[in-house]
Structure 1
């Protein structure tokens, strides 16, 4: 029986999604697509062309939190996330399952991500591989990952509530990583678990500011008040963008333990303006 389910959240990118599903089909694992209120007939086309794929339709765009619906619907102990422009290399799940079995306290495997037809390493790869946190239970210990190339233990993911709807999308992995670590779970980079990412050449023009906004919101949700205030003052543009969501973020504020805050400072390095 399959032990890993692939969960994909998507919106209005059915042609890219079809390519991803074509790559995943030979792997013979359950696939759940969460359609975030698409208007391009995504759900109908997937059901017609890929009848083995389970489609969940959200009446509203939930952003990254749409993945939570897919995880709840999964019946396997592990869940591999993919975007509608990413897929997993052959053998990735079998390797990841062995690692999870050997390390019952491991919540997340951050995979090696190869980008585009040239299969160049994603810029995050050396940051994960050379993590200043040193060796963890199954590889370099990390406090972050790319959602399009991560495999999670479903029990741990559900225990901490999954992806936060406060952040919606972009940089949502950081808060989840911190919450898992605070709950006592381990996160590691595993080099021989591989995912492929073929991002679209066109990028959202507001993507950078949204990511910076979410960094400020995440800081207010989990870090000491002084650090959150410093992050806001250092990037006033991001703070202004965060203001409409700040009250909701503060309602979910829960400061991290001191040892984890120390690890975050070690990973982050010296602060940079606008970063």
Structure 2
């Protein structure tokens, strides 16, 4: 299943890869978040005999996925969630299914995600601690090799070994439906960004494993639908970062920490937004 938002130029490639990646046909649901190119999406889904679900409003990535999963027949046990600008390599779904079906404690499985240049995107990461997360957020752009960013990215560069991780990229992952529904799916308070980090965090808290498996490979061409809304997306990213930290560090005695985080993220947003507007 995938979510479209002005994504028709990429949808055909995704659906074609789904059709050719496995020996058996896989039904696909396309959840559309009120795209301006909806007519094109309708035509593509008809061509590929996929089911199109048109949202009445833009629910965001997680909201659209939740709505689509709720419409699935009860017998569906596993759901592949993917961005429309992802292309599956042959056997990718089977490889992920083999992992999740043979370990009842696995709640989600993610593949090796390649960039278009063939490099590996860090799609399986450990959950950031407060120190590494804040240090990475504050210094990654101005001091790329800072120790907090190195710690945040440690062990997230792909690799050839299957391993348990804190969270998996929402660009492509296979979820066990019972696990997904146990944690009530994606938190729809994340309109965009961090919904995958939060899902991995809550699955782990509930006792499920998130597993990265390099035996499955996909290619992700990038976040095309947000490329023309840079300042708006910066704000969404920072809002989502704060929501995640607020949820994770929610105790009353941590209120001063949350105040400092909010102030720091607000300052960072203003500085980055000012940079976007500077000619």
Normalising by structure 2, we get a TM-score of: 0.73
Counterparts of 1:28-177 in structure 2, within 5 Å, are: 28-40=25-37, 41-50=39-48, 52-64=49-61, 65-75=63-73, 76-116=76-116, 118-124=117-123, 130=155, 139-177=162-200
Cα separation, 2, equivalents of 1:224 and 1:47:
43
Structure 2 residue aligned with 1:273: none
Listed one character per residue, the Cα deviations across residues 175-225 of structure 1 (whole Å, up to 9, x for unaligned) are 111111111111111121212101156364133342222121112223243
Number of aligned residue pairs: 228
Change in CA separation of 1:229 and 1:38 when aligned onto 2, cut-off 3 Å? farther
Larger RCO (CA within 8 A; separation ≥ 6): 2
DSSP 3-state at the match of 1:141: strand
Provide the C-alpha distance between the structure 1 equivalents of 2:65 and 2:268, rounded to a whole number of angstroms: 24
Q: Is 2:242–2:261's contact at 8 Å kept on the other side of the alignment?
A: no
Structure 2 SS opposite 1:107: strand
Match of 1:212 among 222, 228, 238: 238
Aligned-partner SS, 1:147 = coil
In 1: Cα distance, 2:123 partner to 2:106 partner? 20
Asked if the contact 2:124–2:169 (Cα under 8 Å) also holds between the matched residues in 1, the reply is no
> Structure 1 residues 129, 241: closer, same or farther in 2, change over 3 A?
closer
Out of 250, 256, 260, the residue aligned to residue 233 of structure 1 is 260
**1:77 and 1:154 in contact (8 A); partners too:** yes
Q: Which stretches in structure 1 are left out of the alignment for 5+ residues?
A: 1-6, 132-137, 243-275
Contact map agreement 1:79 1:154 (CA 8 A) in 2: yes
Q: 2:19 — aligned with what?
A: 25
Structure 2, unpaired ranges of 5+: 127-152, 270-279
3-state SS in 1 of match to 2:15: helix
TM-score w.r.t. structure 1 length?
Answer: 0.74
Encode CA deviations 1:52-109: one digit per residue, 9 max, x unaligned.
2011111100001101122223342111111111122111121222211221010011
Q: Residue 160 and residue 125 in structure 1: after superposition, are their counterparts in 2 closer, same or farther (change >3 A)?
A: closer
Q: What SS is found at the alignment partner of 1:90? A: coil
Q: Does 1:189 align with 2:192?
A: no
SS of 1:12's equivalent? Answer: coil
Provide the secondary structure at the position in 1 that maps to 2:165: coil
* Deviation for aligned residue 1:235: 4.8
